[in-house]
Chain A
Amino acid sequence: MFTRDLIEDLLSKSVEEHLHKKIEEIEKRNKEINAFITLGTEEAEKSSKEIQKKINNGTQGKLSGLVVSIKDNIAVYNTRMTCGSKVLENYIAPYDATVTNLIKKEDGIIIGKCNMDEFACGSDGTSSYFGPTKNPRNIDYVPGGSSSGSAASVAADFSDLSIGSDTGGSIRCPASFCGVYGFKPSYGLVSRYGLSDMAMSLEGPGPFAKDTYGIALLLDVISGKDPRDTVTVQSNNSYLKTVENFKDGDIKNMKIAYAKEFFEGVDENIKNMILDKIGMLESQGARIEEVSLPNIKYSIPIYYLVVFSEFSSAMSKFDGFKYGHYAGGQDIVEAVSNTRETSMGTEVKRRVLLGTFITMEEFKGRWYTKALKARSAIKEDFKRIFNSYDLLIGPTMPTLPWKIGERISDPLAMYSSDILTVSANLAGICASSQPVGEVKGLPVGLQLHADSLSESKLLKGMRAVEIACGGM
């Protein structure tokens, strides 16, 4: 059911009933799909009753009882927050993240905390300490990562909406693989306060939904300046209006670019599907042109070098003394080493070690500093494009979802699957993924990029594609 209709439904029928339907689905299929690490059905029940009262006297918030799931690296007060890791297996968050607070304020019902790749270090949803999440569309396949549970919960109808986080594609990738809508807001538009840090200059929370309307609705709720995060900027908080006011004819005014590098090495079927959609948009009056993003091939190294450095810094806090798993030892050095060694997964360790290495004084200039200088090049590339175009269009992922267990050990292979998504994070711009069809029963995602803080343009583009694909 489309989100707008859902709300109407909620307002006229019962919030509790709506919630129970979700709980039913969860009971039926979550054991198999493993989208949740922690469920909060009791809390949800309580909230639903309170929200019903508000609806009855017309004082409900924008979310009106919609069911929202939240990635387990985002704090919900008094609820376990594991980041998909043994490190925080029993950690209870003592505060609400800003996005959590905003969702509660607008009467979203928080149903549970979603499974994820450990500390957001992964692109397929299989590296969680709590077991892999399965793709609801085909449980033999990966759901994508790192916000695997978030995407799966929307795809499996365990929730209406979800909040994930995107550092290098962690919202868009699982959105693409699970066949749902996922949105990476411009850096700074949504507060990161309460999001366990992975790569601070790249990441931020973002919405999952079943349609553009749902994305815009949730974006209105969670975006805006927050004194608890100094990088945040003002939001006009009128994204829903933008989507509602979109008329068919608006497509004619759009200047859309597609980068040839974004189609290199992409699965033929995916390529054809995307080109097909581009053709549709063109036939409806959009201006389509090919452009070049010559530095894309450097985006993976630049991205991962930045990630390694920032991640190793972010992970320093885990020593077991204040929270989390603790292994103990003879002295403060041994205790900390033992603790970290016995609680962190392989990919996490790999990134911490590499990050430590490339920020050491004698190696810093060669790797860390150079990567940061090169990062400007990526930002400049996009600036150039968006001077002349409103949107950049292309596929979200170079391949279809792979079978669970198919790609395990080689880190480089895992990293390379992010080739189409990391640049947006390096430049700080906004990007989205939406389902446009399937191949062999597996969903295909179309990705749009727009300039930093141009969410309205991006949402209009999403709406245009949605309509072109026969949505609403």
Chain B
Amino acid sequence: MQIHEDKYKDLNLKIGLEIHVQLKTNQKIFCECSSDYINSPPNNNICPICTSQPGSKPMGINETALENLLKIGLFLGCKAYEKPFYVQRKHYFYPDLPSNYQRTSQPILGNGVFMGVGIWEIHIEEDPGRYELREGKVDFNRSGVPLAEIVTAPDIKSPEYAREFLRDLLLSLEYLGVIRGESGSIRADVNISIMGGNRIEIKNVNSVKGIYKALKYEIVRQKAVLQRGGTITMETRHFDEASMITKTLRKKETVADYRYIPDPDLVPVYISPEMLNEIESVLPESPHAKKKRFMEEYSLGEEIVDSLISDLYLSDLFEESAKNSNPLEAGKWCATELKRRLNEKNLSVSTSKINPKHISDMVGFIERGELSVKNAKWIIEDAVDSGEEIPVLMDKKNFYQISSEDTLVEIIEKVIADNPKAVLDFKSGNQNALHFLFGKVVNETEGRAEPSKTIKLLKDKLCAVA
């Protein structure tokens, strides 16, 4: 069950994504220009090949780009196809496309799954340059940077899950070292249908937040159309970042004809089983294997495990912390509270200040009754923000709970001695007196008395009083 799926249950949401990520390389995909174009002044990171000068030809596909793409595919549980793949020319006229065709390959791997969402296929392509529509300006610095396109099945059932899916996917790809850009650096075409109706495509959304917002908006919009008695026709829309709404882009009866042909300048590529084995051998544990192991080794429940394994940084943190604390508790806290906090602050394990010792320390304090569950939630947030050690934070916030029997008994006896009237009231059957006395103990301890133990000891002591 995906998160928030129940909220949209009657809508039968089908969401699929075509995700573009930039592969981490030194050079561009078909030429020797740098793929690190961000800091270059416009049209300064270019050559005859990535500006499509007459007579220029693509060089052989960047080996590292292909390897990184294969790593992504294997990590997502995909299989490579048996036959060689071609790079194709996808023809359309647009100022950011120097050849007015984009080189994009046939599917290279497919049939995988991640977080319960099917991965249909993955292929490699070249990034176009940048065309600023409103200003009429073109910059080819980005033209030719290698991209992986990951196409999912329409298995995503809520905008919230789409957000979580993308977040964890990007974190894991970053962990693998195969993509460039801050995680969040992503472009996607988003497909959504509601109640078995036609599919709407929203093209080129530039951020995880944008994807989430676009989906939320589309659901509202489509519901309104249906409520008015209208129907949803298949169309392509554009997401406007400024106003956070989607707008019609293309309402033609005909679908765009890209006139795909295999690019005669690029000979076919065959991914051999040997190549794949070699790559697989340097990959970290696959999500599938990790899930099995976590459930067996740590006896964690499936939902907790699912939440941990999709973010490789988080699962590493959990395992480290589990070396020094109860795995069940550590797992629960990592999978729920910690993850939630990081999402809220738009941080990841690697960009926040959290470390494994925070979790193992915290779990220890909770188990010893020195930290209440309620306060632990605050502690986690502080640890994420400041990175300070748990004992220090507990001191600062005065969170140390007193649960040592000796200490509590001493205070209880004092309170009983100081409040004879309340004791008498309790003895006559007044339950409120118990709460009153409990409140006194809490005051004496500045709120640090461990509640359940205190109540029990208080009751015992009161009963023992004549």
Contact = CB atoms under 8 A, between A and B. Distances in A.
A and B in direct contact, judged by CB atoms within 8 A: yes
Interface of A: 73-75, 81, 83, 88, 91, 93-95, 97, 192-197, 200-201, 227-231, 309-310, 313, 316-317, 319, 321-323, 332-333, 336, 356, 359-361, 364, 368
A230 B261 contact: no
B181 interface: no
Contacts of B353: none
A233 to B, nearest CB: 11
Contact of B55 (A193, A227, A313, A359): A193
Interface string B352-374: 00000000000000000000000
Interface SS of B by simple majority: loop
Contacts of A321: 95, 138
Contact of B265 (A200, A227, A336, A364): A200
A94 B265 contact: no
B267 interface: yes
Contact of A313 (B48, B59, B101, B266): B101
Nearest to A306: B264
Given A230-B267, A317-B98, A317-B99, A97 B55 contact: yes
B257 A361 contact: yes
Contacts of A231: 264-265, 267
15 contacts: A75-B54, A75-B55, A83-B54, A88-B54, A94-B53, A95-B56, A227-B60, A310-B261, A316-B100, A317-B54, A322-B51, A322-B52, A322-B98, A356-B259, A361-B259
B60 A230 contact: yes
A394 to B, nearest CB: 28
Interface in B13-60: 48, 51-60
Given A230-B58, A313-B261, A368-B261, A323 B267 contact: no
B55 A196 contact: yes
Interface string B253-276: 000010101001111000000000
Nearest to B89: A313
A97 B60 CA distance: 17
Contacts of B267: 230-231
A157 B374 CA distance: 96
B56 A193 contact: yes
A95 B265 CA distance: 19
Interface of B: 48, 51-60, 89, 91, 93-95, 98-101, 138, 257, 259, 261, 264-267
A163 to B, nearest CB: 13
A70 to B, nearest CB: 12
A309 B259 CA distance: 10
Nearest to A195: B55
Given A230-B267, A321-B138, A193 B261 contact: no
B93 A336 contact: yes
A94 B52 CA distance: 12
A313 to B, nearest CB: 6
A214 B138 CA distance: 47
Contacts of A356: 259
A315 to B, nearest CB: 9
Contact of A74 (B48, B55, B57, B91): B55
A428 B259 CA distance: 25
Nearest to B31: A228
B53 A229 contact: no
Contact of B59 (A75, A227, A360): A227
A230 B265 contact: yes
**In the complex, which of the residues B48, B55, B100 has the most CB atoms of chain A within 10 Å of its own CB atom?**
B55
A228 B59 contact: yes
Contacts, number: 96
Contacts of B58: 230
A333 B93 contact: yes
The 9 A-B residue pairs with the shortest CB-CB distance, nearest first, are: A200-B264, A316-B100, A201-B264, A196-B54, A359-B259, A194-B55, A196-B55, A317-B99, A75-B55
A429 B266 CA distance: 19
A465 to B, nearest CB: 33
Given A309-B261, A359-B261, 20 more contacts: A88-B54, A94-B48, A196-B54, A196-B55, A197-B54, A228-B57, A230-B60, A231-B265, A313-B89, A316-B91, A316-B93, A316-B99, A316-B100, A319-B100, A321-B95, A322-B53, A332-B94, A332-B95, A333-B93, A364-B259
A332 B51 CA distance: 18
A83 B91 CA distance: 23
A322 B46 CA distance: 12
B266 A95 contact: no
A360 B264 contact: no
Contact of B54 (A81, A229, A332, A360): A81
Nearest to A309: B261
A95 B31 CA distance: 14
Contacts of A333: 93
A91 B93 contact: no
Contacts of B59: 227-228, 230
A97 B57 CA distance: 10
A333 B92 CA distance: 11
Contacts of B93: 316, 319, 332-333, 336
Contacts of B52: 317, 322
Nearest to B48: A95
A316 B91 CA distance: 8
Contact of B57 (A192, A336, A361): A192
A192 B261 CA distance: 19
A99 to B, nearest CB: 10
B259 A360 contact: yes
A359 B261 CA distance: 8
A41 to B, nearest CB: 24
**In the complex, which of the residues A81, A88, A95, A309 has the most CB atoms of chain B within 10 Å of its own CB atom?**
A95
A322 B261 CA distance: 24
Contacts of A192: 57, 265
Contacts of B51: 322
A200 to B, nearest CB: 4
Contacts of A230: 57-60, 265-267
B53 A323 contact: yes
A193 B54 CA distance: 10
Contacts of B54: 73, 75, 81, 83, 88, 91, 93, 196-197, 317, 323
Contacts of B265: 192, 197, 200, 229-231
B14 to A, nearest CB: 26
Nearest to B140: A322
A200 B55 CA distance: 10
Contacts of B55: 73-75, 81, 93, 97, 193-197
A69 to B, nearest CB: 17
A319 B257 CA distance: 19
**In the complex, which of the residues B94, B259, B266 has the most CB atoms of chain A within 10 Å of its own CB atom?**
B259
A228 B48 CA distance: 11
A49 B449 CA distance: 99
B32 to A, nearest CB: 10
A361 B259 CA distance: 6
A88 B53 CA distance: 11
A229 B57 contact: yes
Contacts of B48: 94-95
A272 B56 CA distance: 44
A386 B264 CA distance: 25
Contacts of A319: 93, 95, 100
Contacts of A91: 54
Contact of A193 (B57, B60, B138, B266): B57
A197 B101 CA distance: 14
A310 B53 CA distance: 17
Nearest to A193: B57
**In the complex, which of the residues A91, A227, A332, A368 has the most CB atoms of chain B within 10 Å of its own CB atom?**
A332
Nearest to B131: A332
**In the complex, which of the residues B57, B89, B99 has the most CB atoms of chain A within 10 Å of its own CB atom?**
B57
B434 to A, nearest CB: 79
A118 B98 CA distance: 22
Nearest to B255: A361
Contacts of A81: 54-55
